[in-house]
Amino acid sequence: MPFDLGSKPPLNRIIPAFHKSRLSYAIRGGPVSLDTSTLQTDRNIDSVMGRALTGTVIITGGNGQLGSEIAVAIAKTQPFVHLLLTARHAKADDVHALTTRIRLIGPRSIEVLPLDLTDLREVTRFAEQTVDRVRRRELPPIVDLIHSAAVASYVVDELTLDGFDPVYQINCVAPFLLTVGLLEAFRAGDGTLDGGAKVMYVGCSSASYGRLDYFDHNQGRDSRPPGTPLSAKEGNIRFGSSKLIASVALYALRRSLACTGNIPLDIFTLDPGGIAGESHLRTGAPLSVRVAHQTRTGLRPFLRMVSRSSINKASVPAKVIARVAFQREAVENSERERYYILDSEYEAASVVSTLRNGPQMAGRLVQVMREAEGGKDRGSPSSINTLPNEPHAFSKGHSAYPRGSAFSVSPNHFQPRSQPALRRRRQLLQRLCLLAAVSFLVTIFIFPSWRAIILPTLSLGLLHPSEDLQLQTVRYYDLSEVQGTEKGWERGERVLMLTPLRDASSHLPMFFSHLRNLTYPHNLIDLAFLVSDSRDDTLQMLSSMLTEIQNDPDPKMSYGEISVIQKDFGQKVQQDVESRHGFEAQASRRKLMAQARNWLLSATLRPTHSWVYWRDADVETAPFTIIEDLMRHNKDVTVPNVWRPLPDWLGGEQPYDLNSWQESETALALADTLDEDAVIVEGYAEYATWRPHLAYLRDPYGDPDMEMELDGIGGVSILAKARVFRAGVHFPAFSFEKHAETEGFGKMAKRMKFSVIGLPHYTIWHLYEPSVDDLRHMEEMEQERLEQEQKERERELAEKKQGTKSKSQNSAGKPDAGKGSSEGSAAPPAKDADKEGSKQAKL
């Protein structure tokens, strides 16, 4: 059967189709129709509810290990949604504990209803009643349906009343039937960022071992009696097959919905990864499975270093599910099928290869649909006798909702606890705390012997009885949490961005344009500037631009903590190209620059910083993602390649930063011949080091992620982990192994066993500053151009005069008919006229 986006879907007999303002579809129980206008929640309904609720979120298995954490995460982040949780036993103790836990978060609208997924008739009734409640506006439309209920078993189980393997029915058939049954209750999309509803199926990595045909023959029992133990491998295949079939069927349903009508329903699977802790979804798990799970739980910190989805506490995937369920994005078309593994998004077909096989998906969809409609005869006498004759499908009319059988918390009007009640409770707690504090202080002052015992214990030794209760401010920092990782922007790692400035007012507009374009979260970047030995208005312009960027209307534009430090170091070298790059000034200039860098770093590095990014203000062009690009390498010190553009008459481009290099034997031998305070600098004939330079290895078409180990580095752009500086590495303001400043920093970092790399094919561009010779040459070129233009104007003027003279001679050479004989002798000879014309042309 063909099955693609352009063909007629196989479920056109049951999938909704829109006709004008009515929504209708036919199921074996008869046609059901619903006016789509009743799916909208207006302000009048909101006023009756007492609070403007944005929609309903249904979570199956709401009292499970993962389902309960999902409910808590949504309750914390979405206070204006109605939580409808399902559980097999709605009055169980864990359900009561969950609702109490959610109530402690704050006023929330929540109810828990019983739902046994092993009974398809009960699933159908639940769907009918929920649709009826939405139709009668007792519930807001459903915005999210999260299939969290699941079960795994390592024994051959009795078939359900519907004739299915319980693992298959709970993990696949029941979620599919519930999704189809609730179609009329989903929120209708309006094309906005909030349009449409989502169905999220909680998958599992075991689906990669599953088979689509596992349950086709005798429900995978192979004539084995109930209670027969299964191996760990077969149990995982059984569980993974149920998850795989469910994912395929739901993705196929999504395509059918997209082809049949404008139903804005986004269906996708999310694999939460391994979940630590005690799980109740396994039945008869063999010892090997239990030991493996306990081992993975114990090794969780180490396994997460390899893969974040390897194993986590249930709260970690729950937060991801809560975030994905309410992502603000336009409703995707059927060609955009997503599959999440924790918080990483993939194309669904790249994970579930069956999605590329349209006919196989169509066949599986039809089979699951038939099974969900009424069960199916599996060929055994017991199953024949237990299968019901009534179809499990929608029928005309809906019975009243049996509120008396549900454990609910304000299920009817979603009234949260009133504000006066909350205020009274808060006041009571405050009074009790105040009374306890006063009693404690009075006890300490009245009984000195108690003071000597209690104070050191409560203060962890910071307070002693002889100190008269002098409280101290203590801050605790765990530096193991700020080591720096390759995805710091996801972990909220803070970056300290340092920029030394000297007579840089002309560069600040360009520098701040780069700051605005950085893609690393600005709130995670702290800026620090050192203004030293400046004679222009660098400080005033810097303050003005910082105020402007911090007051930007875009809330994502402002940065974190900003420090501006002013300190002069007596730098005498001028800022022109010849002075800054002259050989004689290099040693003293580099040492003073090292002092400036160390002052700026030591004054601004905080215990909360994971990374330090040095950036010069005169960088002309750099990728907006440079911090993330360098951070992804996860090295201790990383630098890019630095070039500069040149005029065409100078070659167009040129390597700029020659301070990034690998050590050579020639340079080591040269260092042994120099004085103790000598400083080797690159790019000068006085020091022929023959080192491999990062700049000269650039290939415009090379891999930008290629790494090269370095010994010395340049200072234009450096990203280093903060732990490098905390370990004692700095910019030597003296001759360290015959090097200073950034090159000495690289040498020192290598000596202390830190990784120092450069990216030869990842290039940023420094501003071109012409030298005196360049300026002189440009003046000569400009003078030649002006002279050439003057000659061109004179030539055009002469040609114009010659043309005018020729016309006047031609008119004089044609006499009138009456005067030709008398005036002909007065005309000059033709030869003389030619000579005169030639003379004029020369002029």
pLDDT tens-place string over residues 285-325: 777 777 777 777 777 777 666 677 778 888 899 999 999 98
Q: Is pLDDT of 516 > 90?
A: yes
Same domain, 677 and 712: yes
Residue 772: band (very low, low, confident or very high) from pLDDT cuts 50, 70, 90: low
Q: Is pLDDT of 624 > 60?
A: yes
Residue 775: band (very low, low, confident or very high) from pLDDT cuts 50, 70, 90: low
Measure Cα distances from 7 to 357, 366, 677 in Å: 14, 15, 81
Residue 53 covered by a domain: yes
Q: Cβ atoms within 10 A of the Cβ of 88, count?
A: 16
Q: 143 in helix, strand or coil?
A: strand
Same domain, 581 and 450: no
Residue 406 covered by a domain: no
Higher pLDDT, 631 or 189: 631
Residue 451: band (very low, low, confident or very high) from pLDDT cuts 50, 70, 90: low
Q: Where are the alpha helices (DSSP H) in 484-643?
A: 488-491, 508-517, 538-550, 577-581, 586-604, 626-631
Q: β-strands 338-341, 265-271: how paired?
A: parallel
Same domain, 372 and 433: no
Q: Is pLDDT of 757 > 50?
A: yes
Tell me which amino acid residue 360 is: Q
Higher pLDDT, 425 or 837: 425
Same domain, 331 and 199: yes
Q: What is the mean pLDDT of residues 598-609?
A: 95
Q: For residue 632, give its domain range.
A: 480-766
In the prediction, which pLDDT does 421 show? Answer: 54
Q: Is pLDDT of 144 > 80?
A: yes
Residue 509 covered by a domain: yes
Same domain, 190 and 231: yes
Q: What is the mean pLDDT of residues 474-494?
A: 90
Q: Is pLDDT of 583 > 90?
A: no
Residue 526: band (very low, low, confident or very high) from pLDDT cuts 50, 70, 90: very high
**Alpha carbon distance 574, 597 (integer Å):** 19
In the prediction, which pLDDT does 264 show? Answer: 66
CATH code where residue 587 lies:
3.90.550.10
Residue 12 covered by a domain: no
Which of 269, 271, 264, 270 has its CA nearest to residue 334? 264
Residue 115: band (very low, low, confident or very high) from pLDDT cuts 50, 70, 90: very high
Q: Which of 584-588, 651-655, 715-719 has the lowest mean pLDDT?
A: 584-588
Residue 813 covered by a domain: no
Same domain, 332 and 435: no
Q: What's the structural domain count of the chain?
A: 3
Q: Is pLDDT of 141 > 80?
A: yes
pTM score of the predicted model? 0.44
Average pLDDT over the chain, rounded to an integer = 78
Q: Kindly report, residue by residue over 354-367, the tens digit of the pLDDT.
A: 888 888 888 888 98
Same domain, 453 and 501: no
In the prediction, which pLDDT does 584 show? Answer: 67
Q: Is pLDDT of 187 > 90?
A: no
Q: Kindly report, residue by residue over 342-357, the tens digit of the pLDDT.
A: 888 888 888 888 888 8
Q: Do residues 201 and 415 make contact, with C-beta atoms less than 8 angstroms apart?
A: no
**Alpha carbon distance 537, 543 (integer Å):** 10
Same domain, 428 and 366: no
Same domain, 264 and 131: yes
**Which residues are registered as beta bridge partners of 407?**
112
**Alpha carbon distance 527, 523 (integer Å):** 10
Higher pLDDT, 409 or 466: 466
Whose tokens are 């049996």? That residue is 402
In the prediction, which pLDDT does 596 show? Answer: 94
Same domain, 516 and 653: yes
In the prediction, which pLDDT does 357 show? Answer: 87
Residue 778 covered by a domain: no
Same domain, 463 and 488: no
Residue 804 covered by a domain: no
In the prediction, which pLDDT does 291 show? Answer: 76
Tell me which amino acid residue 72 is: V
CATH code where residue 276 lies:
3.40.50.720
Q: Kindly report, residue by residue over 214-254, the tens digit of the pLDDT.
A: 888 777 777 788 888 888 888 889 899 999 999 999 999 88
In the prediction, which pLDDT does 21 show? Answer: 30
Q: What is the mean pLDDT of residues 609-623?
A: 96
**Alpha carbon distance 465, 193 (integer Å):** 62
Q: Cβ atoms within 10 A of the Cβ of 160, count?
A: 23
Q: Which helix (H) or strand (E) holds 60?
A: strand 55-60
Residue 803 covered by a domain: no
Same domain, 663 and 724: yes
Domain edge (last residue) among 332, 364, 386 = 386
Whose tokens are 């008459």? That residue is 649
Q: Kindly report, residue by residue over 436-448, the tens digit of the pLDDT.
A: 888 888 877 777 6
Q: β-strands 756-766, 265-271: how paired?
A: unpaired
Higher pLDDT, 183 or 627: 627
Exposed/middle/buried for residue 821 (C-beta within 10 Å: 0-12, 13-18, 19+): exposed
Q: List the structure tokens of 198.
A: 């989502």
